[in-house]
Amino acid sequence: MMIPTEPIGSIPRPRALLEALTAFTKHRCSQSAIDMAYDAALRETIAELEATGSPVITDGEQAKPSFATYPLHGLQNLGADGPIITFADGHQRRLPRLTAGPFRYSTYADRYLQAAQRYTQVPIKQAVISASALSLLYPEEGIPGYPRDTFLDDLVDEAEADIRRCMDAGAHTVQIDFTEGRLSIKLDPSGQLLTCFIDLNNRVLSRFSAEQRARIGIHTCPGGDHDSTHSADVDYAALLPRLFELHVGRFYIQLASERERRRVLNLIKTYARPHHTIFVGVIDPLIPRIETAEEVRDRVLEAAAYIPIQQLGTTDDCGFSPFGDDTSTTREIAFAKIRARLAGTAMAARQLGA
């Protein structure tokens, strides 16, 4: 038995795609030219991921504007003045604000999955954004004629459809990105916001069978953008007990960049359930140094002291470029880190007799 290993999602975009996007924003190239640039980036990324020997790949999120806002691209009922997320280095990201109902996705993630399936036979994991993240679009003052409860009903329907369409299209697994989980504790130390987030996501997950939920996972990290985070200072002990209440079979947990990994592993040991597979982060995408295979091996062996081998997997802490304009990591470094994860995981598996 091998130790399963999977990427989180995004890969830095090739220079040709970034240049095409810049030209497009300045009205210097056509939509067809952008579509061709997206397709070329997708084919190149899949080929490079296959070359690493990864048993599961993603589309690298080459055509997504960001991991969070892909369902919103082109919607007309959005304002630009939504919630602001501040990162440790001072830079900010701003979500849009919903201005009118009903709420509907403009793009479902199966679009990206089906595009990638044209170029590979390797199993593909598809990442989707959580219902809880998109719930932040609804303004505190409300929307006349479109109450929050109605919005949440619509949101749950759309989030379910996003996951189901990916599963029906043949996704190996579906990963729900839940970076706002740790952030919610920073925004509301009482934990009430986190409770709302957990409950909302479980409303979506309750619509799937136990067999389907075994193929659905949740990814948690303190954010990762321009080599900075938004909630790394939040104690994992405030998140993990509630995280394992989510009705999924897989958990992708940022761990490589944690200062107290063994403490976090002990929390995982305490709260994870026998049917959970725990993919621990063994690669830190936010540092330029490429981890050695031996470092990865040692991190896997460390985790195996707390997590039963049949429940253990490895991953990267987060995607390498979750926002389309993040160029802080090169493609060369990203693929080198992925190769280190694969090699180190295999070394650990041999040593553990897996």
Predicted confidence (pLDDT) per residue in 306-352, tens digit:
999 999 999 999 999 988 788 889 999 999 999 999 999 999 999 99
pLDDT, residue 324, reads 79
Query: Residue 12 domain-assigned?
Result: no
Query: Residue 83 domain-assigned?
Result: yes
When the pLDDT of each residue in the chain is averaged and rounded to a whole number, the result is 96
Query: Residue 38 domain-assigned?
Result: no
Domains contained in the chain, number = 1
Query: Residue 285 domain-assigned?
Result: yes
Query: Residue 65 domain-assigned?
Result: yes
27 has a pLDDT exceeding 90:
no
Q: CATH no. for residue 258?
A: 3.20.20.210
pLDDT, residue 46, reads 98
Query: Residue 111 domain-assigned?
Result: yes
Query: Residue 101 domain-assigned?
Result: yes
pLDDT, residue 26, reads 84
Which domain covers residue 184, as residue numbers? 54-352
Query: Residue 2 domain-assigned?
Result: no
Cis ω for the linkage preceding 102 (within 30 of 0): yes
Predicted confidence (pLDDT) per residue in 249-275, tens digit:
999 999 999 999 999 999 999 999 999
pLDDT category at 1 given cuts 50, 70, 90 is low
Burial class (CB in 10 A: 0-12, 13-18, 19+), 309: middle
Query: What DSSP letter does each residue of 163-207 carry, written as one string?
Result: HHHHHHTT-SEEEEE-THHHHHHHH-TTSHHHHHHHHHHHHHHTT
